Amino acid sequence: MAFERRLLMRERGTGVLEKLWLIPWTFVMLLSAVAAVGYVALYSAGGGSAEPYASKHLLRFGFGLVMMLSLALVDIRVIARFAWVGWLGGVALLVLVALHGNVGKGAQRWIDIGPIQLQPSELMKIMLVLGLAAWFHRASWERVGNLLFLIPPVLMVLIPVGLILKQPNLGTGLITALVGGGMFFAAGVRWWKFAVVAGIAGVIAPIAYDRLHDYQRARITTFLDPESDPLGAGYNIIQSKIALGSGGVWGKGFLQGTQGHLNFLPEKQTDFIFTMIAEEFGFAGAISVLALLALVVVFGFLVALRCRNQFGRLLAIGLATNFFLYVFVNVAMVTGSIPVGGVPLPLISHGGSAMLTVMLGFGLLMSVHVHRDVEFGGSRD
Amino acid sequence: MSKKEEERRRGAFTRRAVLLATGQVGLFGFLGWRLHRLQVQEGDRYATLAEENRISARLIAPPRGRVMDRTGHVVAANRLNWRALLVAEQTQDVNATLETFSRIVPLAEHERTRIEREVRRRRRFVPAVVREFLTWDEMARIEMNAPDLPGISIDVGTTRLYPEAEHLAHIVGYVAPPAESDIDGDPLLELPGIRVGRAGIERHHDRLLRGRAGAVQLEVNAVGRVIRELDRREGVPGQDVQISIDTGLQKAVRERIEEGTSVVVMDVRNGEVLAMASQPSFDPNLFNSGVSNAQWRAWTANRATPLINKATNGLYAPGSTFKMVVASAALEAKVCTPGERVTCPGYYDLGDTRFHCWSRYGHGGVDMRSALKLSCDVYFYEMAKRTGMDRMAAMANRYGLGVELDIELPGSRRGFVPTRAWRMAQGKAWNLGDTVVHGIGQGFYQLTPLSLCTMVSRVASGRAVQPHLTRAVGGRPIRGVRPEDWPSMGLPDRDLRLMREGMWAVVNEEGGTARIARLPAGLGQMAGKTGTTQVRRVSREQRERGFRVETMPREWRPHALFVGFAPHDNPQYAVSVVVEHGTSGSAAAAPLARDVMAETLTRMRGGSGPGQRVADAVPGGPVPTPRRDGG
């Protein structure tokens, strides 16, 4: 009897109060610390004023926090059941933005929903993780080895990636593809299949390069040799490197950054916010911020390893990888390590869409953590 | 799925998750290595240590826009200003640098304090001014000692020059270094030696005149010498502002008037202010390098208030110049007809209070036209009683009295026209006697000469013109230059014609109160209205003892007012004159208005070159006796 009751409790899940207890509050504090770094940086980007960036940032984070904590209480099985709805919704929004979206910087990227500007490509990354986690949840190790079984998830990745590339948004498209790849790897897809895909990509890449937009090509060429066109396409990278370099070990001090405050840094409140931090707080400040962000990723992996259901494990690893890719691409971009692309630094850059989708992801991650001991699903074969 | 299969799946997941995590942490490590290389190893290449070359970014101040008068004559210009600047980040010891500097060019103790405060307040890369207005000799000495003066550089900035000095001080205003409260996020305000508009046009159009800062990125060596320019983004120069003042007219007017007098000349067709004089005035150039305490005390202690523009900030009761408003309100309220006669025996009884007309012998039977011409008080006592204060006040507002005007002079007073509600809000009663007194422009009114000029412009044009000073910004004319830009007042033409005719009779008809204001031949005819407003109550006993205004102390004497427009049959220009303690509108204000109007008409027809003036007419004519109690 007692055993059965325990099973029953597991089935129904636990009460709200117990769930609140299970929320990883240290992680919430970690996120708040990162957002606080964002506030400080945006305060500086606003010329030493909370307006126009920092105060909005705080507001958005507060809103995101509420959303995240509410999501954490939603039963993981409910999330799993409706995961495919999320994927479909994400794709529908991408189609919508292709048909009716606003054009910004030569690309159709966002739609207006009332006061909110939504970039469906940001949301799609989360929805893809959900969809793939749900698909692989029931698959045994043998099943994942079956090539036919992999055709639907490959389509689940290719359809949104194709739509995002068509916007055109090369950066986000590649990140989405990489998130999908990471999930395939974690789900147990065999090594040799990755090798084959990599081989094919190696053949296709030169052909694809020919079909890229001019600005996308310019990014790649300037990445290879930024000094070749110092006032044109290479300008951003050179200015960013000057800012980083002149920051030195200890930085120029809060609000003292010349590059940022004299507007030599392009888009200092969004893509180049990390440069601003590195200029004013130096290597010491930059490496500390990087460490905080790495801790966030590590936490995601710990959640994945602790979880007792495959859906939660895959969801957690997908979300952590997604966050990691954001950070890596952004910081690699501003340090001139990879071509420049419009990828913000999550939780720090100014911008509502990225902040809310990232917080949505953390909400799901917390739900995984809160429901880590729930066992569900399993045999389909 | 069996337990065994689940175990296997989880095992595979764990292995791969650890691999992924290792990879990602590794990539974080790569980023850290990359940052280390850029910021620590190659840091010098991009500029950090004092011995090596560095990148320095500087703001460039755009030239401030000029102010021109309507003929294109520049009334606020920029003049070169050689300065020594100090960039704190380019020296290791600010104090040592200043110490060396003061051995070359002596610095006073208060200058040292100011520089130290500026260095502390500003960001380290923003230069602070050490010394302005350097002579060639000083510059040569600083240049020669440059190696001993790390962080010091000489550059040329600009400072403001007002060629017309006190003639336009109240209009153009002046500039001064920004105060803490001016800092509004514009990086330009952090520049050394920058000035912001503090008064007048300089303040009103500050944003337009200021322009936007540019910036330049330089490679400099340790002592701040520029090695090469890496990048430059141009600022936006400030825009030139053209004002409607005619400097020649303004000077002629100012030379004609004495202390305590203010004069406004407006174009009735579009509201442009052609001249606005207030005596005494001040030299705005003194604000450039900071006004000394002694000078400031001298200005503020002067009872004639040189810093205050009496045309926009002096408040006076309008006296009889208000009678057009009362007549207009009575006609609109339909409480009388223009032809209706009121008998004036020299006084007006309301209950047991007696109000006097300025003429103790009375005017006999007067209609509206002759009441304006003779300025008969009894007629307007009666009209005020019939119309009521609130309707008079509403009409006054429509004429531009007691309302905010669009004049571009910050701090201008709007003036005040009382209403019954206002008095009651003070907990006091409003009696019919109050209404009667306010019918002749006495009482609680507080109006500026500018608003009186606006009133008479509206009488003359029938349009709700707003007084304004701006003609063009950046070479583009502003809206409001054409008469059609201004809406009609919405008063019947018949009423307005009657006002104008009454005012014409004041000046040009036998028995009018301002016959002295007739224009010289060839300039057409002026229409006008006098006003005399008591500043001190004259009691009955004093009146009976034959109290004479000539024997009063000056500051007890009434103010003299005159408003008018010309030519009477095709109104173009309006004038308002207030002579503080001038005793009589007819004697003091009217002749002045005549000369100003003659000057205006002559100039505007291009008949007289700059500097030429219409000869002063000899003041004289009948001087009306001082008037009335009950005010």
Residues A270-305: pLDDT tens digits? Answer: 888 998 899 889 899 999 999 999 999 999 999 999
Beta strands in B338-469, from DSSP E residues, in sequence order:
342-344, 347-350, 353-356, 364-366
Give the whole-angstrom CA distance, residue B387 versus residue B391. 6
pLDDT for B366 equals: 93
Residues B589 and B261 sit within 8 Å (Cβ to Cβ): no
Strands B74-86 and B67-68: antiparallel
Write out pLDDT tens, residues B139-174.
888 888 888 888 888 888 788 899 998 999 999 999
pLDDT for B464 equals: 92
Comparing CA positions, the residue from A187, A157, A197 lying closest to residue A173 is A157
Write out pLDDT tens, residues A68-92.
999 999 999 999 999 999 999 999 9
pLDDT for A381 equals: 38
pLDDT for A21 equals: 83
Q: Whole-number mean pLDDT of chain A?
A: 83
Q: Of B175-184, B415-424, B595-604, where does mean pLDDT reach its minimum? A: B175-184
Backbone phi and psi for residue B131, each to the nearest 5 degrees, phi listed first: -155, 135
Q: Of A81-85, A117-121, A315-319, B18-22, where does mean pLDDT reach its minimum? A: A117-121
Contacts of B8 in chain A (CB under 8 A): 140-141
pLDDT for B425 equals: 92
The predicted model gives B205-226 an average pLDDT of 74
A287 touches chain B (CB under 8 A): yes
- At residue B50 the predicted structure's pLDDT band, cuts being 50, 70 and 90, is very low
The structure tokens listed for B371 are 């009441």
Test mutation, A136, A241, A242, chain B, max B CBs within 10 A: A242
B139 contacts: CB under 8 Å, gap ≥ 6: B82, B154
Indicate the pTM of the whole model: 0.61
Give the whole-angstrom CA distance, residue A40 versus residue B185. 17
Q: How many CB pairs under 8 A join A and B?
A: 152
Which DSSP helix (H) or strand (E) runs through B596?
Answer: helix B590-604
The predicted model gives B32-50 an average pLDDT of 72
Counting residues of chain A whose pLDDT is more than 90, the rounded percentage is 41
A139 or B401, which is more confident?
B401
- Chain B 46-65, residues with CB within 8 Å of chain A CB atoms: 46-48, 54-59
pLDDT for B131 equals: 86
The predicted model gives B196-211 an average pLDDT of 91
- pLDDT beyond 50 at A331: yes
Give the whole-angstrom CA distance, residue A75 versus residue A374. 9
Residues B84 and B102 sit within 8 Å (Cβ to Cβ): no
Counting residues of chain B whose pLDDT is more than 90, the rounded percentage is 47
pLDDT for A358 equals: 92
- First CA to last CA across chain B, in angstroms? 106
Say whether B155 sits in a helix, a strand or coil. strand
A193 touches chain B (CB under 8 A): no
Which DSSP helix (H) or strand (E) runs through B104?
Answer: helix B94-104
pLDDT for A364 equals: 95
Of B13, B39, B58, the CB nearest to A244: B39
pLDDT for B8 equals: 86
Q: Whole-number mean pLDDT of chain B?
A: 85
Beta strands in B213-313, from DSSP E residues, in sequence order:
214-220, 226-233, 241-243, 261-267, 273-278
Of A185, A252, A290, the CB nearest to B20: A185
Give the whole-angstrom CA distance, residue B512 versus residue B526. 13
The structure tokens listed for A174 are 């590649």
Of A253, A264, A335, the CB nearest to B231: A264
User: On the CB side of A352, how many CA atoms lie within 13 Å of its CA?
Assistant: 14
B318 or A230, which is more confident?
B318
pLDDT for B226 equals: 64
Across the interface, do B16 and A186 touch by the CB < 8 Å criterion? yes
B150 contacts: CB under 8 Å, gap ≥ 6: B90, B91, B92, B97, B222, B223, B224
pLDDT for B549 equals: 66
Give the whole-angstrom CA distance, residue A25 versus residue B2. 35
- pLDDT beyond 90 at B380: yes
Sign of CA dihedral A188, A193, A197, A202: positive
**3-class SS letters over B430-454:** CCHHHHHHHCCCCCCCEECHHHHHH
pLDDT for A379 equals: 40
**3-class SS letters over chain A:** CHHHHHHHHHHHCCCHHHHHHHCCHHHHHHHHHHHHHHHHHHHHHCCCCCCCCHHHHHHHHHHHHHHHHHHHCCCHHHHHHCHHHHHHHHHHHHHHHHHHCEEECCEEEEEEECCEEECHHHHHHHHHHHHHHHHHHCCCHHHHHCCHHHHHHHHHHHHHHHHHHCCCCHHHHHHHHHHHHHHHHHHCCCHHHHHHHHHHHHHHHHHHHHHCCHHHHHHHHHHHCHHHCCCCCCHHHHHHHHHHHHHCCCCCCCCCCHHHHCCCCCCCCCCCHHHHHHHHHHHHHHHHHHHHHHHHHHHHHHHHHHCCCHHHHHHHHHHHHHHHHHHHHHHHHHCCCCCCCCCCCCCCCCCHHHHHHHHHHHHHHHHHHHCCCCCCCCCCC
Contacts of A301 in chain B (CB under 8 A): 17, 20-21
pLDDT for A120 equals: 86
Write out pLDDT tens, residues B568-616.
989 999 999 999 988 888 888 999 999 999 999 998 875 433 333 333 3
pLDDT for B224 equals: 54
- Eight-state DSSP code of residue B273: E
The predicted model gives A256-283 an average pLDDT of 79
- Tell me how close the Cα of B188 comes to any Cα of chain A, in angstroms: 10
pLDDT for B525 equals: 92
Backbone phi and psi for residue B625, each to the nearest 5 degrees, phi listed first: -70, 155
Question: Exposure of A380 by Cβ count < 10 A (0-12 exposed, 13-18 middle, 19+ buried)?
Answer: exposed
Comparing CA positions, the residue from A304, A309, A335, A306 lying closest to residue A321 is A304
Name, of A221-225, A328-332, B299-303, the range with top average pLDDT: A328-332
Decide if the complex's ipTM is over 0.90: no
B33 touches chain A (CB under 8 A): no
Domains (range + CATH), chain B:
58-243 (3.90.1310.10), 247-281+308-471+482-617 (3.40.710.10)
The predicted model gives A90-112 an average pLDDT of 73
Query: b/e map of B346-370 (b: 16 or more CB within 10 Å)?
Result: bbbebeeeebbbbbeeebeebbbbb
- Tell me how close the Cα of B122 comes to any Cα of chain A, in angstroms: 9
Contacts of A186 in chain B (CB under 8 A): 13, 16-17, 20
Angle at B391 between CA B389 and CA B393, to 5 degrees: 65
- Eight-state DSSP code of residue B122: S
Contacts of A49 in chain B (CB under 8 A): 185
Dihedral in degrees, nearest 10, Cα atoms A55, A57, A62, A63: 110
pLDDT for A221 equals: 66
Across the interface, do B21 and A301 touch by the CB < 8 Å criterion? yes
Write out pLDDT tens, residues A6-41.
444 455 556 778 888 888 999 999 999 999 999 999
B253 contacts: CB under 8 Å, gap ≥ 6: B263, B265, B275, B277, B596, B599
pLDDT for B547 equals: 64
Q: Of B73-87, B311-325, B423-437, B476-490, where does mean pLDDT reach its minimum? A: B476-490
pLDDT for B63 equals: 86
pLDDT for A340 equals: 58
pLDDT for B414 equals: 93
- The CB density around residue A335, as the number of other CB atoms within 10 Å, is 24
- Tell me how close the Cα of B241 comes to any Cα of chain A, in angstroms: 28
- The CB density around residue B301, as the number of other CB atoms within 10 Å, is 8
- pLDDT beyond 70 at A155: yes
- At residue A1 the predicted structure's pLDDT band, cuts being 50, 70 and 90, is very low
The predicted model gives B256-282 an average pLDDT of 93
- At residue A48 the predicted structure's pLDDT band, cuts being 50, 70 and 90, is confident
The predicted model gives A177-202 an average pLDDT of 90
Sign of CA dihedral B251, B257, B261, B267: negative
Beta bridge partners of A103: A108
B422 contacts: CB under 8 Å, gap ≥ 6: none
Across the interface, do B35 and A231 touch by the CB < 8 Å criterion? no
**3-class SS letters over A300-336:** HHHHHHHCCCHHHHHHHHHHHHHHHHHHHHHHHHHCC
A378 touches chain B (CB under 8 A): yes
Angle at B559 between CA B554 and CA B563, to 5 degrees: 150
Give the whole-angstrom CA distance, residue A337 versus residue A335. 6
A261 touches chain B (CB under 8 A): yes
pLDDT for B76 equals: 92
pLDDT for A103 equals: 59
- The CB density around residue A368, as the number of other CB atoms within 10 Å, is 28
B298 touches chain A (CB under 8 A): no
Name, of B58-67, B96-105, B182-191, B210-219, the range with top average pLDDT: B96-105
Across the interface, do B17 and A140 touch by the CB < 8 Å criterion? no
- pLDDT beyond 70 at B362: yes
